[in-house]
């Protein structure tokens, strides 16, 4: 059973993730399906501050609501986004359970980006393309872009986490 403050926190963080997702859709990209994954800044922050379960909920809410708004619910984009989001959270959770203190926001973001891209490639191959050549052709490009965006998003999440912790510390000190 979730406490009311947990529900509120997940709703608020999901709204932030949706806002970043919507903002990102306004940025012109050279390739239509390419996304920077700005909403993952919120996912990483949620994961580090509030744990696996909260991050999973934020991801599920963001993917479902964003797909409903864009009209892609249960379509190929939704399937790829949901598969990537779930595998990303599961991979980060797995790595943190193995070596809890080894990865910070940037490391977790890179793990999430790698898992996200590989799972989307696998899903695209299994469900839509069913030819290995196009998947192999695009894999290096996606991994390079995922490494860059994963690093940038991880650095942004790190700054956000530090800022939130500093704000919380100042609030506690002023009481």
| Residue 144: per-residue pLDDT | 94
| Cα–Cα nearest to 23, from 4, 3, 37 | 37
pLDDT of res. 98: 92
Question: What integer pLDDT is reported at residue 3 of this predicted model?
Answer: 86
Cα–Cα separations (whole angstroms), residue 130 to 40, 74, 87, 121, 142? 29, 19, 21, 11, 18
- Which among 136, 39, 131 has a CA at the least distance from the CA of 89? 39
pLDDT at 174: 83
- Residue 64: what pLDDT? 97
Q: Which CATH architecture has domain 4-173?
A: Orthogonal Bundle (1.10)
Three-state SS across 40-61? HHHHHHHHHHHCHHHHHHHHHH
Domain boundaries, the chain: 4-173
Find tokens 């490494």 and name the residue: 147
Q: Please identify every stretch of the chain with a pLDDT value under 50, giving residue numbers as ranges.
A: none
Write out pLDDT tens, residues 25-35.
888 877 767 88
């Amino acid at each position: 059973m979730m406490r009311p403050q947990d529900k509120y926190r997940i709703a608020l963080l999901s709204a932030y993730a949706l806002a970043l997702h919507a903002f990102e859709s306004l940025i012109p990209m050279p390739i239509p399906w390419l996304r920077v994954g700005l909403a993952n800044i919120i996912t990483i922050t949620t994961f580090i501050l509030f744990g696996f379960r909260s991050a999973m909920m934020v991801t599920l809410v963001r993917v479902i609501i964003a797909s409903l708004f864009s009209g892609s619910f249960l379509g190929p984009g939704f399937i790829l986004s949901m598969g990537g989001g779930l595998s990303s959270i599961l991979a980060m959770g797995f790595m943190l359970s193995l070596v809890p203190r080894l990865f910070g926001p940037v490391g977790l973001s890179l793990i999430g980006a790698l898992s996200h891209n590989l799972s989307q490639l696998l899903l695209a191959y299994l469900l839509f393309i069913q030819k290995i050549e196009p998947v192999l052709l695009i894999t290096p490009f996606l991994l390079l872009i995922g490494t860059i965006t994963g690093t940038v998003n991880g650095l942004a999440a790190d700054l956000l986490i530090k800022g939130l912790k500093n704000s919380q510390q100042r609030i506690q000190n002023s009481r």
